[in-house]
């Protein structure tokens, strides 16, 4: 599981063995689709039972993933749906044989997307 930096409540919850909400002073992120202030007890239980781990990525790493998806695959991917790819591209997660990253959303402001894909990394 991958979350935006500062909104890594699942990662911190899994590490501490109990649900830990996002801090009141959490930084802004444009990954608004996955800004959850507190994880679901059901999801926490499922991931905890499976010894899942969570990673976090910066907005800059998410921008790199959005740009990569566009430049290499002609895909328009929203920020929140790009976090898994961002973790892979940033080297925070090693790709193994048959690794699959699901890019599940394209709800991104066209002007924001244009700014990201037109900017140099």
What pLDDT, in 10s, does the model give residues 45-76?
999 999 999 999 999 999 999 999 999 999 99
CA-to-CA dists, residue 46 to 57, 67, 115, angstroms:
22, 32, 38
pTM tops 0.85, yes or no? yes
Backbone Cα Rg of the chain: 15
User: Is pLDDT at 120 greater than 80 in this prediction?
Assistant: no
**Domain limits, the chain:** 2-55, 58-118
Average pLDDT, rounded, for the chain:
94
Q: What is the pLDDT of residue 121?
A: 53
């Amino acid at each position: 599981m991958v979350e935006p930096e500062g909104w890594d409540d699942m990662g911190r919850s899994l590490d501490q063995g109990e649900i830990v909400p996002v801090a009141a002073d959490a930084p802004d992120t444009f990954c608004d689709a996955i800004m959850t202030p507190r994880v679901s007890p059901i999801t926490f239980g499922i991931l905890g039972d499976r010894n899942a781990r969570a990673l976090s990525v910066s907005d800059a790493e998410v921008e790199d993933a959005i740009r990569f998806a566009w430049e290499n695959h002609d895909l328009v991917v929203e920020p929140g749906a790009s976090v898994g790819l961002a973790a892979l591209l940033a080297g925070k997660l090693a790709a193994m044989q048959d690794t699959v990253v699901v890019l599940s959303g394209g709800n991104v402001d066209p002007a924001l997307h244009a700014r990201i894909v037109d900017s140099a990394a």
